[in-house]
Structure 1
Amino acid sequence: MTTTHTPDRESSGRVWLITGASSGFGQALAEVALGAGDTVVAAARRPALLDALAAAHPGRVFPVALDVTDQAQIGAVVAEVLRQHGRIDVLVNNAGRGLVGAVEETTEQELRDLMDLHFFGPAALTRAVLPQMRSQGSGAVVQMSSMGGRFSFAGVGGYSATKFALEGLSEALALEVAPFGIKVLIVEPGSFRTGFAGGGALQQSAALPAYEETVGPVREVLPSSDGKQPGDPAKAAAAILAALEADRTPLRLALGSDAADAILANFETSRQEALDWEPVSRSTDFD
């Protein structure tokens, strides 16, 4: 782990560890945390991208090199953050990327790589910070999921699978750590101007002609939406901070009107299906 400044514990309130901090939601959350008077350990695969942010906030931003798919690196980084700053108050598991492809198109390696990034990495980071959070009797784990972590649609099965897994883990985690004063917040954004869909950031599986009708539109629409998404990352970051500071932090926080609309519509569809099939569900008990 490398840092650009000597720690200044007098200037810090909470200490945040944010992955994927060089752009998008990670960068926006770093700026919100700094605005709240906190200290940010900003993790990225290329920490040099964080030099300008660190220079603008001397003694309060500490860039670190971290690939969240490297389990050994995770342990070393968390240990070094605790050694230098004495605590981690907020962990934000934000590092990620998109993947478009039908289930049949998605290769084993593509799915495993994305699961490492979106599930096993955040799980390892969470495990690494929990002993210290339990010891201090406070803390928060922010899991950056997606509205695609609550429901899925054609072309994003692999991506949604990783977010579904993260949400299932986090739902149990929230119940387990609440007695220790630790909060868990699952964030489910819709379309935001984060660079998620542009600049080659969006990975695409090799296309099969058979799925042109169902997946083809997704392949076209997602990249073309870059820079035109309705969501404002700065407002999202402020909403996340407000949720963390609320007396009753929600387990899940949808962000963006598109996410709110889609999630609520999915609730209604799922509820109606469950009601329609309730007699069958109940018919399978022993007499």
Structure 2
Amino acid sequence: MAAWYPMAGCNLYNVSKAALRWLAIGLAGEIAQFGIRHYLVEPGFFRTGLLDPSANIAGTDKNSRLDAYADLNLTIKTNFAAFNGAQLGNPVKGAQIIYDVVTSSGVAAGKELPELPPLGSDASAEI
């Protein structure tokens, strides 16, 4: 979903997701002639450690931060902490669905699926 919604303070993450989306769209035209199919799963929010304040964000020297970003930094930190562990998606179930899609088994058996399937109820509703 990050490729679809700009979020102040998360632009580098979001643009990387958008770049992958456009790469997948372009790649589809190149590999179709070889009978190769591909999927780019566009997940919603899953309960992983991504938003854990201590997990992924390297500390910075407080003196090197721009004062103009102080409010935004605090908002992001507060929102991530509040949302951490409360995401809708179950990563174990999500991984199983991805496996099913790739192998055309389980929940994906016999179904025609889009090349860019949303994963999770929030992604399905928003994308």
- Using structure 1 for the length normalisation, give the TM-score: 0.36
| CA drift at 1:153 | 1.4
Which residue number in structure 1 is paired with residue 33 of structure 2?
Answer: 179
Q: How do 1:201-212 residues align onto structure 2 when only pairs under 5 Å count? A: 201-203=55-57, 207-212=65-70
- Name the CA distance, whole Å, in 2 between partners of 1:186 and 1:196: 20
Which residue number in structure 2 is paired with residue 237 of structure 1?
Answer: 95
Which structure shows the bigger proportion of residues in strand conformation?
1
Which residue number in structure 1 is paired with residue 77 of structure 2?
Answer: 219
Runs of 5+ unmatched residues, structure 1:
1-146, 264-287
Counterpart amino acid of residue 126 in structure 2: A
Which residue number in structure 2 is paired with residue 200 of structure 1?
Answer: 54
- Name the CA distance, whole Å, in 2 between partners of 1:211 and 1:177: 44
Larger radius of gyration: 1
Q: How many positions carry a matched residue from both structures? A: 117
Which residue number in structure 1 is paired with residue 10 of structure 2?
Answer: 156
- Name the CA distance, whole Å, in 2 between partners of 1:212 and 1:253: 37
Q: How do 1:55-204 residues align onto structure 2 when only pairs under 5 Å count? A: 147-198=1-52, 200-203=54-57
| CA drift at 1:182 | 1.7
Q: CA offsets per residue over residues 216-261 of structure 1, 9 Å max, x none?
A: 3222211343222221012212222232214533211222233233
Q: CA offsets per residue over residues 189-208 of structure 1, 9 Å max, x none?
A: 22211211227332268543
Runs of 5+ unmatched residues, structure 2:
none
Q: CA offsets per residue over residues 96-138 of structure 1, 9 Å max, x none?
A: xxxxxxxxxxxxxxxxxxxxxxxxxxxxxxxxxxxxxxxxxxx
- RMSD over aligned Cα atoms: 2.4
**Identical aligned pairs, as a percentage?**
36
- Name the CA distance, whole Å, in 1 between partners of 2:91 and 2:71: 32
- Name the CA distance, whole Å, in 2 between partners of 1:212 and 1:239: 40
- Using structure 2 for the length normalisation, give the TM-score: 0.74
| Higher RCO by CA contacts (8 Å cutoff, separation 6 or greater) | 2
Distance 1:230 1:218, change over 3 A: same
Matched residue SS, 1:183: coil
Q: Is the 8 A contact 1:243 1:250 kept in 2?
A: no
- Name the CA distance, whole Å, in 1 between partners of 2:72 and 2:87: 22
Matched residue SS, 2:41: strand
Distance 1:179 1:257, change over 3 A: same
Matched residue SS, 2:37: strand
